[in-house]
Homo-oligomer: A and B are copies of this chain.
Amino acid sequence: MTWVTLVNVSPFLGLVGLVTALLIFLYLKSQPNGPECTQNLEEMVHDGAMTFLKKEYSILVFFIAAVFVLIFCFIDKQTSFAFLAGAACSIVAGYIGMTAATRANSRTAIAAMEKGQKEALKISYFGGAIMGLSVASIGLIGVGILYYLFGGDPETAKYINGFAMGASSIALFARMGGGIYTKAADVGADLVGKVEAGIPEDDPRNPGTIADNVGDNVGDIAGMGADIFESYVGSVIATIAIAATMVPEAMPDGASKAAYMAMPLLVIMAGLVASFFGIFSIKVMGNMKPQLFLRYSTFIAAAVLIILSYLICNGLGLPIGIFWAIVSGLVVGIFIGLVAEYYTSGPPVKKIAKNSETGPATVMISGLAIGMESCALPVLGICIATFVAYKVAGVYGIGISAVGMLSTVGATMTVDAYGPVVDNAGGFAEMCELGPETRKITDGLDALGNTTAAIGKGFAIGSAALTALALFTAYTQAADISSIDLTNPMVIIGAFIGAVVPFLVAALTMTAVGKSAFAMVEEIRRQFREIPGLLEGKPRVKPGPEKCVAIATTSALKQMILPGLLGVMTPVVVGLLLGKEALGGTLLGCTLTGVMMALFMSNAGGAWDNAKKYIEEGNLGGKGSENHKAAVVGDTVGDPFKDTSGPTMNILIKLVAVVSLVIAPVLMSLTPIVDKIFK
């Protein structure tokens, strides 16, 4: 077997990953999930999350069917089936991850109570690992099979693009629907519970608490899983597409086109292997401080990947520049993550907290300013990564550096997904009164989860930018565009249209959170009013959390449709109306403002969140002080910023690019509508 034919192993390696995830799941299920109380909560959260997913998918099925028919009729049938496969794989990955996470929550809480921090870390980490491995494995299986079918011939490789579009479409809706739901439930439960009724967070009397816990799962597990899944397959497919249209002059050292095309798949295969090392390092490093372990597990995966990439690059006979492009992507990814960590838990957070002394307005101003400022270094990082990758390996380098960043997704996603599991476990500990020691352990692990989430978000934005650029390059080649010239005003008009889309989507999603939260508030108020004895905490009087879950679900899903369609339709409308060059401008405009808004909103939101926590730790007057109240305002604004609108941007820029890539063959020789009218 040669290095190039090694790609045929990819679906089987993916299967190995899936089986591993299954084994971890069986181990997890065998752990005790405690007394009736935690078992009941687990069931309720699990049911709520599954109800959400089912409802979401039952809406998306119409969308998927419609797009399938359109692609089938106007593009080709292979692409339409690839689209279907991409959508299905994304859904399956989300479903598996959600199942695992909603089973790990109670077990983490019990482990924290019965066995302490180390065991709680292990359970929650494994809960996340199932998600991480599923995303990586299913992606590998899907892309691997399609590559086997179509990848042999550069002509048919374009069909694989449909897979990325399927994954992207589901990701956008899942991210938005989940993001709206989680924040609406959070804000709604807090507003009536903490502010109006004066009962603590996660109090069992509050009918919104379950919805809040469900929200952590649908937003941070299913939503993020779909997000990362699409980045992962998007970067691989973009790089394959770039390789498929490479001309001999761009391939020095006599390396074959097949080698260039196989490279991204081999890198993610290596990435999955590297992730095994990262994840199972818990066996030897489980006694470390949790913070160090989480960090080292990621580093181990990155180190293994670097070694394997070097071997692959050599084995395929590709120039060494490609290896350096991968390294530069990884280094810049970590750099962007560290910058995000600085802005969301370093000195800027204390500055915001200090500003609470002059009230909520100065908390807002300083947070917004810090969010805007935080764009500078990551953008510089993206520029440097793009520059290095391009200089050492041409436009192909940009694609492969994104693949490098995302290939260890099995390990990085594990760390991301562990956060919501411990967050849920903490809620369970509170509601079932598992004692202050248990709560302390889950709180400690949760705080850690927030920091790793901030780093993960930075990483996600960096990889999204590079993936979008790679997709952009793939689009220009697929549409047979020789140049997208900025001196052509039609390109500038396209760029303006693209630039405004992220602002509009951000506005719509933020408004959606407000509307859905209001629906929750009304329902919680109604229950407190109409269920006698509930607020007073009479024994055996229970709230009706299912109603809250149902209302938040319906409202969130209704609100996700408009911004979702905006993302999907923009490239189609611009392409048909103004032509393929103008659409190139749209892609760039959307990527530029999308990346800025993602950084701005994620970092501002994270900084506000931690400024509030910093005060709650007893600084500047502590919980309940006027300063705390001011900081809570910042946190409330930050919630939709960092968990709804901000993360949506990542997917938006990739979706717009991938839709363009798929419709490129149609646009290639089409006369734009405006030219028909004005000629």
Contact = CB atoms under 8 A, between A and B. Distances in A.
Given A495-B588, A592-B589, A633-B360, A469 B489 contact: yes
Contact of A481 (B386, B487, B499): B487
Contacts of A486: 472, 476, 483-486, 491, 584-585, 588
Contacts of A375: 500, 503-504
A592 B41 CA distance: 49
B376 A504 contact: yes
Most buried by B among A359, A483, A596: A596
Given A510-B365, A633-B633, A484 B487 contact: yes
A69 to B, nearest CB: 30
Contacts of A503: 372-373, 375-376, 596, 600
A390 B473 CA distance: 27
Interface in A499-555: 499-500, 503-504, 506-508, 510-511, 513-514
Contact of A506 (B361, B372, B387, B588): B372
Given A489-B390, A596-B503, A383 B497 contact: yes
A300 interface: no
A499 B592 contact: yes
B593 A636 contact: no
Interface string A328-370: 0000000000000000000000000001001111101110111
A497 B379 contact: yes
A203 to B, nearest CB: 20
A365 B366 CA distance: 16
A614 to B, nearest CB: 18
A626 to B, nearest CB: 12
Contacts of A489: 386-387, 390, 395, 398, 469
A362 B191 CA distance: 11
B504 A369 contact: no
A271 to B, nearest CB: 24
B593 A368 contact: no
A150 interface: no
Contacts of A191: 358
Nearest to A592: B499
Contacts of A383: 493, 496-497
Interface string A594-636: 0110001000000000000000000000000000000011001
Nearest to A362: B514
B636 A507 contact: no
A29 interface: no
A69 B213 CA distance: 65
A633 B359 contact: yes
A252 B489 CA distance: 20
A349 to B, nearest CB: 15
Interface string A453-488: 000000000000000010011001000010111110
Contact of A593 (B360, B473, B596): B596
A157 interface: no
22 contacts: A355-B514, A360-B360, A361-B637, A362-B514, A364-B633, A365-B640, A366-B514, A372-B503, A372-B506, A373-B504, A376-B500, A382-B496, A383-B496, A383-B497, A387-B493, A390-B489, A395-B489, A472-B492, A484-B487, A486-B491, A592-B592, A593-B593
